[in-house]
Amino acid sequence: MDLRNLADHRSVEPRADVKKLSVESQPSLFYRDLRPWVHPDENSQYPRSNDVVTCHYSGVLKRDGKAQTFDSSYERKTPTEFPVNGVIRGWTEVLQKMRVGQKWEVHIPYQLAYGENGFEPKIPAKTDLFFVIELIGINVKGTRRSEL
């Protein structure tokens, strides 16, 4: 997956196909649907904060004027499973708005990522993060609630 252009702009907000995520957080989160043709069943569920999800993702940040991939399940060629409430706040909010099968490009401001301190050495202080997130499945206490 080529994400070199993902962090080329401070925010993805100005693009016509970019939407503001309806959440309570400040600053706002913005996303672009990479699979607009996917229309999840109206009965499909959203992950809850206590669910475990299976995702593919790639994370990019801008360092010294260049976009750098700092983590990618795509590069490892295996999806990752984790609790919705066990990740950075921006991810927790984004995941609870996604349905299985959706794939989004997301801009997460540093305040909803690793904040003032960062997560050195990978992520410097006050660094906005850019992700491609693909929700593959939702698990509840070891059972599959929904899966692509």
Task: Give residue for tokens 């692509």.
Answer: 148
In the prediction, which pLDDT does 23 show? 61
Q: Is the pLDDT of residue 148 over 70?
A: no
Question: Cα-flanking dihedrals φ and ψ of residue 91, to 5°?
Answer: -65, -45
- Give the mean pLDDT of the chain: 85
CATH number for domain 18-147, candidates 3.40.630.40, 3.10.50.40, 3.40.640.10, 1.10.730.10: 3.10.50.40
How far apart (Å, rounded) are the C-alpha atoms in residues 56 and 39? 19
Q: Could you give the percent of the chain with pLDDT greater than 90?
A: 62
**The total number of residues written for the chain in this structure:** 148
Classify residue 76 by its DSSP letter. H
Spatial CB neighbours of 128, under 8 Å, sequence gap ≥ 6: 7, 10, 11, 61, 62, 107, 108, 109, 110, 113
How far apart (Å, rounded) are the C-alpha atoms in residues 48 and 38? 21
Q: Could you give the percent of the chain with pLDDT greater than 70?
A: 79
Between residues 18 and 16, the one the model is more confident about: 18
Confidence of residue 26 (pLDDT cuts 50, 70, 90): confident
In the prediction, which pLDDT does 54 show? 97
Q: Is the pLDDT of residue 15 over 70?
A: no
Q: Which residues of 62-78 are buried (b: 16+ CB within 10 A; e: fewer)?
A: beeeeeebebbbeeeee
Query: What is the SS3 assignment for 105?
Result: strand
In the prediction, which pLDDT does 65 show? 86
